[in-house]
């Protein structure tokens, strides 16, 4: 009989679903330390957590019987998903249970920020009647800028429009037609920053969104601008925010998420023009019930019928013969998106050679997941990738052909967007190692790695030395280099595999020194 450890507080409805399943044995022990969890986990096949309990590699390695880890919520940043995948452990989340709650809390902070509700309450409790210092602003007639129009951002946009606001948004995955249906105008993120009276963020935290709003962005904002972040801590540079609020460079802010949680000591606590809440986005009775019921049902389905729902790691759901191709498909989609333009309209996957004789649908979904991940983050997985694409007006095209020369099997992912396109092709070697063999029109032999620099520029002598010197001056090591070109002295692509991420300032220095046509830092 599989044993399930529930290591966080879980709503009673979820616990009842797990406990009444006679084929499962359930223990509820909320709040264990890492060492406690290491000692407990060898006896369990399943582990349920929420945001309080971390599941690092040490716990996963100790879980000799562990088959399934479930997060009652969307974020899996507290779980070492890579370690779980290497062990063949399925990691699930519940991406839809707290959408309404997160959106409503954003709206609560939007209204509170406009009308100084939190500060007014604080002054009233001090028996201070200071109406003159609490004059607010109306939302009606103002411009709301939404960064990220997923489920939460879309909900916020609908309510804001009902309140009389004009909504502009930045979302590189949403088509202009789909945005128009929502009554939203798509604009570059720089326009959102400069033209909005209120800005709300709904993006995952990754290398591209880390400190997305920093000192430079605050300088471009209106003096009366107010910013709300209920997405992820770290998307807003808190030091820059403090400086902008203290100097009244912007009018106000409201934060529910922070770079370090719990918040502890922070200079933001000293300011009267910022509203702070302790990560309450999903803290409603309804959301707690939804995520608890969702994860409980998913565990029952898995252990009773072998059904995998809302898995965030790909190896857990693949046909063994397709495992290396699924991993490759996700990397191809991810790379194609990061090299393509904004506002993706179509994702195409072509399976050629021996692959064409198999059920290629899992490969298509894996490629789509990879294509959506740079913007959607934790929200997207193998189960909901197609739904999220449909909601964003992204068309999915599949094709197969047994005709192929030079390779046993080949996959090609093509991204079409409103501002450009990219095509990436790859294969798997006889040793089951993935290879990228074409980037747009250039033939390459690239081993996918976490950190890549991709450069397109005229093939001229001395170029390699310039960027190598710049990277060396910043102690950034090049692990491998691949070059593709069509003719001597023509256009070329150079891909550098880096040991570490290259900071934006170094990328700017390289652009100036090498005069590249296009330079992208890619993380797979």
Residue 517 designated active-site: no
Please tell me which residue in 13, 130, 207, 261 is annotated as part of the active site. 261
User: How many angstroms separate the CA atoms of 402 and 239, rounded?
Assistant: 56
Which tokens belong to 453? 């620099």
Q: Is 8 helix (H, G, I), strand (E, B) or coil?
A: coil
Q: In 341-486, where does DSSP find H-type helix?
A: 361-376, 385-391, 463-473
Give, as one character, the DSSP assignment of residue 399: E
For residues 342 and 147, the answer to whether their CB atoms sit within 8 Å is no
The alpha carbons of the chain give a radius of gyration, in whole angstroms, of 25
Query: Which of 232, 242, 343, 414 does the annotation list as catalytic?
Result: 232
First to last CA, the chain: 38
Token duo for residue 194 = 């400069």
Among 3, 54, 87, 279, the one annotated catalytic: 279
| Phi and psi, residue 386, nearest 5° | -65, -40
What's the token pair of residue 150? Answer: 């997923």
Q: Assess whether 185 carries a catalytic annotation.
A: no
60-89: string of b/e by CB count within 10 Å (b at 16+)? beebeebbbbbbbbbbbeebbbebbbebeb
348 in catalytic set: no
Contacts of 372 (CB under 8 A, 6+ apart): 173, 333, 337, 380, 385, 388, 389
Helices 117-125 and 99-115 cross at an angle (nearest 10°) of 70
* Torsional class of 344: left (φ above 0), alpha (ψ -120 to 50), beta (otherwise): beta
Q: Which residues are catalytic?
A: 232, 261, 279
């Amino acid at each position: 009989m599989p044993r399930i450890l529930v290591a966080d507080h879980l709503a009673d409805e979820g616990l009842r679903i797990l406990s009444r399943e006679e084929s499962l044995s359930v223990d509820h022990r909320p709040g264990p330390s890492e060492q406690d969890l290491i000692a407990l986990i060898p006896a369990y096949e399943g582990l349920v957590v929420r945001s309080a309990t971390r599941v690092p590699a040490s716990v996963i390695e100790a879980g000799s019987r562990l088959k399934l880890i479930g997060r009652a919520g969307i974020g899996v940043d507290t779980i070492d998903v890579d370690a779980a995948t290497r062990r063949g452990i399925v990691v699930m989340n519940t991406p839809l249970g707290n959408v309404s709650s997160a959106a409503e809390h954003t709206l609560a902070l939007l209204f509170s920020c406009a009308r100084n509700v939190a500060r007014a309450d604080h002054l009233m409790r001090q028996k201070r009647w200071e109406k003159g210092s609490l004059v607010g602003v109306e939302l009606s007639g103002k411009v709301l800028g939404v960064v990220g129009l997923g489920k939460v951002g879309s909900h916020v946009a609908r309510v804001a429009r009902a309140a009389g606001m004009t909504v502009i948004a930045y979302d590189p995955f949403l088509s202009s037609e789909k945005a128009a249906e929502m009554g939203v105008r798509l604009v570059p993120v720089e326009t959102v920053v400069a033209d909005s009276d209120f800005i709300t963020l709904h993006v995952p935290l990754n290398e591209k969104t880390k400190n997305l709003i920093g000192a430079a962005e605050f300088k471009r904002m209106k003096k009366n601008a107010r910013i709300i972040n209920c997405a992820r801590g770290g998307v807003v540079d808190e030091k820059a925010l403090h400086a902008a609020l203290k100097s009244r460079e912007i009018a106000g802010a409201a934060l529910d998420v922070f770079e370090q949680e719990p918040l502890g000591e922070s200079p933001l606590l000293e300011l009267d023009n910022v509203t702070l809440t302790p990560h309450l986005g999903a803290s409603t009775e309804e959301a707690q019930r939804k995520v608890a019921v969702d994860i409980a049902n998913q565990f029952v389905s898995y252990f009773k019928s072998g059904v995998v729902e809302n898995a965030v790691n790909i190896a857990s759901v693949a046909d063994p013969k397709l495992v290396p191709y699924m991993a490759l498909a996700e990397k191809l989609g991810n790379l194609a998106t990061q090299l393509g333009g904004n506002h993706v309209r179509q994702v195409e996957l072509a399976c050629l050679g021996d692959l064409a004789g198999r059920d290629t649908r899992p490969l298509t979904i894996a490629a789509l997941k990879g294509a959506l991940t740079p913007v959607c983050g934790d929200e997207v997985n193998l189960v909901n990738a197609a739904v999220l694409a449909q909601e964003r007006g992204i068309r999915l095209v599949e094709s197969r052909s047994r005709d192929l020369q030079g390779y046993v099997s080949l996959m090609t992912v093509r991204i079409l967007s409103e501002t450009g396109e990219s095509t990436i092709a790859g294969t798997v070697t006889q040793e089951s190692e993935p290879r990228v063999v074409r980037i747009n029109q250039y033939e390459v032999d690239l081993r996918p790695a976490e950190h890549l620099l991709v450069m397109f520029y005229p093939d001229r002598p001395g170029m390699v030395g310039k960027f190598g010197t710049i990277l060396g001056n910043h102690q950034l090591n090049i692990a491998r280099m691949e070059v593709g070109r069509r003719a001597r002295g023509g256009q070329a692509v150079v891909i550098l595999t880096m040991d570490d991420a290259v900071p934006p300032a170094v990328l700017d220095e390289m652009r100036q020194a090498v005069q590249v046509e296009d330079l992208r830092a890619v993380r797979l």
